[in-house]
Structure formats: C-alpha cells, structure tokens
Structure 1
Amino acid sequence: MLAPGIYKGSFSSDINGAFGQPIVIRSADPSSPAVLSGNSTSSGYAMRVRGDYWEIRDLKFTNAQKGIILDHSNYSIITDVEVYNTGMEGVHFRDGSSFSTIQNSSIHHTGRTAPGYGEGVYVGSADGAGYNQATHYNTIRNVVFGPQVTAEHVDIKERTLGTIVENCIFHGEGISGANYADSFIDVKGNDAIIRNNVGYQEGNHTITDAFQLHEVVTGWGSNNIFINNKAHMDNSEAYVIAAYNNANAKAANTIRTPSGNMYKGNITAYVTDVQLK
C-alpha cells in the first residue's frame, strides 16, 4: 500500500500470488493516488510484473519508455489506473501473459519518443520478436484511450486468442500514422470479441478505418466478432471495420455517424436479437 507521493524508479517483481490470495499493490488513498514514475521516456518500465495473480490498483504510471508490462503473468488485474507520458506503449500483455485484465482506467499521451510504437494496450508480440506469442484470453474493459495515443489504442497481435475489448472509449486525436498506425484497434489474432465501444475520429484524417483486421501470419486474423460498436467519423470515406488480406470477422449492430462506408473486405454482417426487438 503506497502513501500519496511520487515514487521514482523502474519497479519489477517476479513473485507469484495465488488464486484468492493475489499480490496487491495499490494506493492508500484512491482519491490521491501514488505516482510510479520511471527514469526517462527513452528507457525502462514504470512497472514490470513477471508473476501470476497480481492486482495493480488506484495508481498512476508515467515517465518511462513503457508503462506497465505483464510478462508471463497470468490471472492478473490492472484496475483504476492512469498511464501517461510514456515513450512507447502504455500497457503490454507480453510473453504468454493470459487470462489477465485491464479495466476502469485511462491511457493517454503515449509514444512521446516513438510515435509508431505508442500503443495504448499491446496484446502479444509481433512474429519474430522473441517472446511467447501465446498470449490468450485477456480483457480490456472500460478504458478511456486518448488523447495523444500515437499508435493503435489496442493492438492485438498474431497468434493470440480470445482477446475481449469492451465498453471502451477511443479519442482519435493524436493517432500519428507512423508505422501504419491508422485505426483505433488492429486485430491480427483469432476469436477476439470487440463490443460496446465508441470511437471518435476528432478531425484526425490519419485514421483510415475505425477498426482493422490483418492476416500477418497465415491462418491468423480470423473468426473475430464485432458487436454494438459506434464510430463517430468526420467523413464518409473512412470505414468502420476493414479486413485486409484473408482476415475476417462478423459484425452486428454497428452504428456510424455520419453515414458512410461501413465494411471493407471479408466482414459478414448479421442480425442479433437486439436488432430484432
């Protein structure tokens, strides 16, 4: 339990908690959260966890190259945190971290030194990166992204399964276009569920699609589902959901304002019970 104040350094632990007995790091006073500040936006982490069953709660993370990193950390929860002023990504589920969640949080002003790598939440790793890519069944829930998240707000990498992104808000101001960053979400894994999210383009015409799917590795980028998502776009040209190469998804209850392009590529629109009522 941390008292209000700024704690400077790169914090790391490889200790495991257990089911029903997680390791908890939190602020003593949630109304005045402690700040874990790294040493520089050009290197290091604000916090890196390499153990299972952690709960990270009511804290702020800033001034590091990467904000919060979970490495082979399973069944961990990040909740009610703020991550900002990072050189690269804000939060990373990496190296096989599975069944973990970030929720009720905000992430903004990422990519201060490397805009093309300033993802809000990064799930898995790129092919060939050297980490365990089997980073499965993680959840991003009720997170406000932006402004100034310079890459994708959520990047779901190849060889990941079952990522859920729900009840999130995406503010497009700041998406940079660097390193192909031109959407709120990139899905390159399989069986992801993207639901009940709202995105705002906010005059940023670098955003070519609200949500994208890509087949980076053969057989991946497939069997994904989009339900009840709303995109506030500034022109009719940008697509809401676009699938490239052989990537594919099903989509239902998609709302676009103003009217304009909805689906591109292998997107199957279907009707749910919500639409029929």
Structure 2
Amino acid sequence: MNAASRAVWLAGAALAVAIATLVVVLATGGDGDSARPGAGPASAPPASRGGAGGGPSAFATHPAPTGTATAPRPVGSAPASADAVTCPAATVEAGDATALKDALAAAEPGDVIHLADGRYEGRFTARTPGTAGKPIWVCGGPGAVIDAGGAKGGYAVHLDGADHWRLVGFTVRNAQKGVMADRVRHAVVQGLTVEHIGDEAIHLRAFSSDNVVRDNTVRDTGLRRPKFGEGVYVGSARSNWCTVTRCEPDSSDRNVVAGNHISATTAEAVDIKEGTTGGVVTRNTFDGSDLSGSHNDSWVDVKGNGWTISSNTGRHTSEDGFQTHEILDGWGRDNTFRGNIAHVDGPGYGFHLTPVDGNKVTCDNKVTGAAKGLANTDCTA
C-alpha cells in the first residue's frame, strides 16, 4: 500500500469510528438528559432505561397525543431513587445570606453546604449541576430560614439547570414561589417547610424530570393570587409553553411527589399539567379547607398521562377529592387512582374523571362525605 492509499484508508477508518461513536451516543441518550430550551424538542428515554440513578423501572411506552409531541412517552413506575436521603458531613458552612450566595456560586459536585440556624434574607439561585455520584447538597434544620422578603415577586430558591441537587431540612418562606426548578433532573427536595407563599410552593418546570419531592410541609399559599396557590405544581399550562419551553410540551416527566403534608393552599395541593407523563403521587396528606373555589376545587388535578396516584389521604374540599381533566386533546388519560382515602366533606365525588376513558379508579379507594359518591365511573379491581 503506497502512502496515498494508506492515508485514504486511515481517514476512512477514522470516519467509521466516529459514526459508530455517534450511533452509541444517540442510542443511549448521551448523558441521559432530555433536551432543553435551545437544544431542540425534549425526548423521552427508551423503555429499557431505568429511572433516576439508573435503576430498573417498569416503563412502557405509548404514542404521544396527536399534534402535541414527537416521541413515545414513558408511562409507569417512579424513579428508583425515591428513597429518603441523608445529609453527609458538611464541606461548606454558611451562616448568613452572603455566605450562602457565595457557596451557591462556587458550588462543585460533591459539596455539602450546611445552613446554620438563622435568617437568610434574599433570593438564592443554583446553576452548577452535580453528578449522580457527586450530588450537591444544601442542608439545614427548620431553624435555618430562607426569607425572600414578600409574597409578590421572585423565587426564594431557584434550581436553574442544577441537576443532582439535594435540598434538605430547612425552611423557605415569604416569596412569590418557594422552590422553583427549571431544566432540572434527578434533584431531591426533602423535609423542607415551605410557607407564606404568594403563588405555588414547589414548582417543577421546563423539562424538569426524574425529581423527588418528599416529606415536606407545605402551607399557606396563594397570598398573592389565590388561583395560583398550588402546593406542588408539575409542568406548565399549555398557555405558557411558548414562554417556558419554546412552544414544546413541557414534558416534566417521571417526577415523584411522596409523603408531603399539604394544607392551607388556595389551589390544588398537587396540580399535574398537560404534557407531563409517568409520575407518582403517593402517601401525601391534604387538607383542602382553604381551597378558593372556581377551578380550585380538588386536592389533586391530573391533566397529564400515565400518573399513579396512590395511598394519599385528603380531608375537606370545596367539590371533589381527585380529578382529571383533558385540557388538550389526548391528555389527562391513562392515570390510576389506587388505595386513597378521601374524606371529601363536599358536594362532589371522591374521584371525578373527565374524561373517564383510560383513567382507572380501583375499588380499594375509600370515600366518605362525598355527596355524589365514590366516582363518576365504576371502580375496577
């Protein structure tokens, strides 16, 4: 082989390796993150992939609703990492607002930021991603209070593209929104007290998927506008997609909302928006005594697909206990309500499904005080 032929052969071999590498990356999804604004449409992971942490998940796929998305969507189980987390030993100590802002700005994978008891005035943003092996932690007790100064503007804590963060144990209050997650994967929000909030207390938005919101106390929301006073809010309304996700469906998928105590909310305790798929709402307690009425008339409203709502307990509501709605054609379907206890004390149903098709209420749900009965459909085994 002469020199010219050898050069051609080597260039061809290099091209073949590059193409093979690209195929592998596309097949495995690269680093596992969905697309984000500016990077093209969000796509779901293949059915064979696990949830958070890479563990096995019983995902199945079904076609996206016509005209709303471009890829099969995962339906089914919670991420494998939904267990409670425990804070490691601190690597960074923060005793005031300036120290906390400095720590967030300088955070690197593996950092554990500890909040001493006291008041941290201001609004705080994290942008540096952690990793699966080295998440970034912010830990404190209930006496460590992040106070954003009022219910009319701003986020007290904003995870902005900050994957693999752990917010554990402290108090968040006096903000338009308490904890906001934008473009975030594999985060944990655990054991916080989120209170005195203008709109939603905890919001997962803009393709924020595979996150866990568990064991938090959420109360006293809707101080700015009662109709926006949800406790936990997943995704975005269709009317906001062109603002939040460049007109793509906000596929904030496979999130887990577990073990939270949610009360004194003027809108739903948990609001699950159209465009979201495959999450779990389980073991929460709801008190709907302060629901503001109109469309805010249930503890849980599911407008996404393939969610499992199980083992929750609710008391007091202005209309129904649990609802589904089809805001957009093909959404609000294939959701399962299992083993919930609904003390409705109201004029509606325990479970009001619109549409009924594809949604299921199992016969092990318990309903009392609902003027219209268990559900607007027969229960199933």
Please tell me whether the aligned partners of residues 343 and 370 of structure 2 are also in contact (alpha carbons under 8 angstroms).
Answer: no
Higher share in strand? 1
Q: Distance in 2 between matches of 1:192 and 1:25?
A: 29
What stretches of structure 1 move > 2 A for 4+ residues in a row?
245-248
Q: Distance in 2 between matches of 1:258 and 1:88?
A: 29
Please tell me whether the aligned partners of residues 135 and 161 of structure 1 are also in contact (alpha carbons under 8 angstroms).
Answer: yes
Whichever residue aligns with residue 22 of structure 1, its letter is P
Q: Distance in 2 between matches of 1:47 and 1:104?
A: 18
Residue deviations 1:85-109, cap 9 Å, x none?
0000000000110000111111000
Partner of 1:42: 152
For structure 1, the 5+ residue unaligned runs are: 272-277
Match of 1:15 among 121, 128, 137: 128
Larger gyration radius, structure 1 or structure 2? 2
Q: Distance in 1 between matches of 2:215 and 2:370?
A: 30
**TM-score, normalising length: structure 2:** 0.66
Q: Are 1:128 and 2:244 an aligned pair? A: no
Q: Are 1:61 and 2:184 an aligned pair? A: no
Please tell me whether the aligned partners of residues 213 and 247 of structure 1 are also in contact (alpha carbons under 8 angstroms).
Answer: no
Q: Distance in 1 between matches of 2:350 and 2:139?
A: 38
Whichever residue aligns with residue 204 of structure 2, its letter is F
Pairs aligned (count):
259
% identity of equivalent residues: 33
Matches within 5 A, 1:52-201: 52-129=163-240, 130-132=243-245, 133-146=250-263, 148-178=264-294, 180-201=295-316
Residue deviations 1:108-149, cap 9 Å, x none?
000011000000000000003122301000000000010x10
Q: Distance in 1 between matches of 2:378 and 2:334?
A: 10
Q: Distance in 1 between matches of 2:159 and 2:306?
A: 26
Structure 1 counterpart SS, 2:350: strand
Q: Distance in 1 between matches of 2:300 and 2:370?
A: 20
Higher share in helix? 2
Q: Distance in 1 between matches of 2:175 and 2:356?
A: 37
Deviation at 1:213, TM superposition (A): 0.3
Please tell me whether the aligned partners of residues 345 and 370 of structure 2 are also in contact (alpha carbons under 8 angstroms).
Answer: no
Partner of 1:262: 374
For structure 2, the 5+ residue unaligned runs are: 1-113
Structure 1 counterpart SS, 2:158: strand
Q: Distance in 1 between matches of 2:345 and 2:280?
A: 27
Q: Distance in 2 between matches of 1:107 and 1:142?
A: 11
Whichever residue aligns with residue 199 of structure 1, its letter is G
Q: Distance in 2 between matches of 1:89 and 1:248?
A: 29
Residue deviations 1:189-212, cap 9 Å, x none?
0000000000001xx5xx211001
Q: Distance in 2 between matches of 1:259 and 1:185?
A: 15
Q: Distance in 2 between matches of 1:248 and 1:125?
A: 22
Deviation at 1:258, TM superposition (A): 3.9
